[in-house]
Amino acid sequence: MKEYESAAMWRLYTQAIDQAIAIRSTVKHLHDSIPVSKSPEERIRDNTFLISEVHYLDYKKETIPDDAVFNRIFYKRKSYEHEAELRALLIPEITNPHQSKKGGIYIPINLDALIDEIYVGPGTPGWFFDLVKNISTKYGIKKVLKRTALDDKVLF
């Protein structure tokens, strides 16, 4: 959710930054990539689907609002503020509260609508860049593959 990428995020969330990818998207594109409901049984993109920025609180001074019943997932400790995170939450229709879906709920999103750009991690070797490009082509993702700006030459 920031204008510039974070070197710290590459290091925090990848085991090998030279063999990692990141995608750039927008909230609108995330929303548009989720299929529109066709029937009550297939309710996905309506009132049961929430997208929000995460709010970072100092729990010694602030509390999660009382009206945040489902929205509690959109709050984290202030010490994670560097993540500038966005979360999406699907609240499924539950006919039997003891019924659960093993392995979660599959949502067939439109990757071409979701992804604006694909970036490879800092120091990525040519073979990995080519591999990501070939996989993207194989699965019909027609987005430009870029190297991270962290690989750009410094002007001084």
Looking at the 3D structure of the chain, how many domains does it have? 2
Tell me: do 40 and 54 sit in the same domain.
yes
How far lies 120's CA from each of 35, 130, 146, 149, in Å?
28, 10, 6, 10
pLDDT at 101: 57
pLDDT at 39: 53
Tell me: do 34 and 101 sit in the same domain.
yes
**Residues linked to residue 55 through DSSP beta bridges, in sequence order:** 75
Give the type of residue at 8: A
pLDDT at 119: 94
**Taking phi first (over 0 means left), then psi (-120 to 50 degrees means alpha), and beta for anything else, what does residue 11 get?**
alpha
pLDDT at 102: 64
pLDDT at 42: 52
How far is the C-alpha of 145 from the C-alpha of 131, rounded, in Å? 11
pLDDT at 63: 86
How far is the C-alpha of 80 from the C-alpha of 59, rounded, in Å? 12
3-state secondary structure of 52: strand
Q: What is the span of the domain harbouring residue 124?
A: 1-25+115-156
Q: Which of 108, 125, 147 is the last residue before a domain boundary?
A: 108
For strand 117-120 and strand 145-147, is the pairing parallel, antiparallel, or unpaired? Answer: parallel
Q: Which residues, given as ranges, of the chain have pLDDT below 50? A: 43, 45, 96
Residues counted in the chain = 156
CB-CB contact of 87 with 55 (8 Å)? no
Q: What is the pTM of this model?
A: 0.75
Tell me: do 59 and 74 sit in the same domain.
yes
Tell me: do 86 and 122 sit in the same domain.
no
Tell me: do 73 and 90 sit in the same domain.
yes
